[in-house]
Structure formats: C-alpha cells, structure tokens
C-alpha cells in the first residue's frame, strides 16, 4: 500500500471469528490504496484466521470475543486519523480511500458509510438493498455492514462502541447523529448474502426489525442476544 504522509491515514479494523474463508477477499479489497493500514482483531478463531490475515499483510491482534470489544481493541492501537470498520465478509469498492477522505472533507461531516450491495442475484435481496438505501439516506442510520467510517477524534468523543453484545453499531450511529451530519457514499460495498440466506430473506428482515423495535422499547441487548442464540440466528 502506497504511503503518503501528507494524506490522512485510514486504519481499517476487521473483527474476526473463524473467517478464514472470507478474509482474503476483504483484505484484498483494501488494495491498492494510499496510506492505509489493516488491523485484524481476532476473537479466538480455530480455523487459521490469524495466519491468513498475517500472510496477507495485516496487523493481527487478539481480544476477547464480541464485535464491540474487538473493534474498540483495534481502534485503540490504530495509527490513523480515520477509522474504517469493515466486516470480514464485505469487500470495499476500488478507490474507497479517496472517497472516504473526500467525504470527510465536506462541511459538518465526521462520519459516513457506503451504500450496500448483497452478493446474490436473488430479487428479494434487491428489496433489502432498497430498504437499506432509504434507511441510510432518510433516517441517517447506516449499519455496520455498510463499512462505517469516521474520524478517530469523533469516535473517541462519543466513547467508542458501547460494550454491548448486539446493536453496538445502531447505538454508535445514534450517538454520532447528535454531533454532526452522516454522509452516505453511493458507491456500494459488496457483502455476503449468508445471513439472509441462512434463515430466509423474509424471516431475517422481519427478525431484524423486531430486534430494533425491542431495543427501542428498552429490551436489554443481553436479552436480545439470547433470542438470537435461541433462534440459532446471528448477524454476521
């Protein structure tokens, strides 16, 4: 990766747990890029994920499992002025680094995310993408699978990801909305369809909405997480 000391550095933080089969595509999508570092935070994989990440040139560290814990651990050692949180089954678009820097140079913008494309031809997933588009633009609520990025200063100002077993991205964005504008880059990241296909597109979408409503009505993240486990359903 080309380094330019005059360009703000982007630290890409990827939390992993048994992602050896997906990680190569995710890390490969970070190249070519300018002044970018990749930090993989592993939560105890037993499939060789850390070795794959090291082979691909990423900095690899370990932490207790849990997406919020892992992302905060990665952010703590990040050297960049900009943080980008990337799911291990998601690929960045070419030129993502320039897009992010341009977005964060806009007035009153400290945080953003990308549009979402799901890597499957199923027509039902086009409806999911449409819903994500309107949720992101109208309600300023992108989720973690859209590759949230923000300045490290803003991340620290809101107190990092809350230590929650679920809904950490929802809560972070809610807090950031109170600070400034959230921008959505119309070029999409490409994410795996696995979490929709595992339980069915309709059921997955319905469960997601139920969980959000439950959270807004005060159901604890710990209780919501138990629902996920009982349903054998997990947001990846």
pLDDT tens profile 118-177? 999 999 999 999 999 999 988 889 999 999 999 999 999 999 999 888 889 999 999 998
CB 17 within 8 A of CB 87: no
Does residue 2 sit within a domain? no
Does residue 203 sit within a domain? no
Under 8 Å CB-to-CB from 200, ≥6 apart: which residues? none
Domain count, the chain: 1
Q: Residue 60: which domain range?
A: 10-192
The pLDDT value recorded for residue 220 is 84
231 pLDDT exceeds 60? no
Average pLDDT over residues 210-221: 81
Helical pair 168-177 and 67-77, crossing angle rounded to 10 deg: 60
Nearest C-alpha neighbor of 111 from the set 161, 42, 51, 48: 161
Does residue 215 sit within a domain? no
Q: What is the CATH number of the domain that holds 112?
A: 3.90.550.10
Pick the more confident residue, 192 or 202.
192
The pLDDT value recorded for residue 233 is 39
Does residue 86 sit within a domain? yes
Does residue 34 sit within a domain? yes
Under 8 Å CB-to-CB from 206, ≥6 apart: which residues? none
Residue with tokens 């400290």: 110
Does residue 3 sit within a domain? no
The pLDDT value recorded for residue 5 is 56
């Amino acid at each position: 990766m080309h380094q330019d000391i005059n360009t703000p550095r982007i630290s890409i933080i990827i939390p992993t747990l048994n992602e050896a089969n997906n990680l190569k595509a995710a890390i490969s999508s970070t190249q070519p890029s300018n002044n970018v570092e990749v930090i993989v935070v592993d939560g105890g994989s037993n499939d060789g994920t850390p070795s794959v990440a090291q082979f691909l040139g990423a900095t690899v560290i370990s932490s207790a499992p849990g997406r919020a814990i892992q992302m905060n651990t990665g952010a703590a050692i990040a050297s960049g002025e900009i943080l980008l949180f990337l799911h291990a089954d998601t690929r960045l678009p070419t030129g993502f680094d320039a897009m992010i820097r341009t977005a964060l140079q806009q007035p009153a913008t400290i945080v953003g995310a990308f549009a979402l494309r799901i890597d499957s031809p199923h027509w039902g997933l086009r409806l999911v993408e449409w819903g994500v588009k309107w949720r992101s633009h109208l309600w300023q609520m992108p989720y973690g699978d859209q590759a949230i990025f923000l300045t490290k200063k803003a991340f620290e100002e809101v107190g990092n990801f809350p230590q929650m077993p679920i809904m950490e991205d929802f809560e972070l964005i809610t807090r950031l909305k109170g600070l400034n504008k959230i921008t959505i880059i119309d070029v999409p990241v490409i994410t795996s369809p696995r979490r929709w296909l595992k339980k069915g597109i309709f059921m997955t979408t319905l469960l997601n909405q139920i969980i959000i409503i439950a959270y807004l009505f005060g159901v604890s993240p710990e209780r919501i997480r138990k629902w996920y486990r009982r349903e054998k359903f997990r947001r990846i």
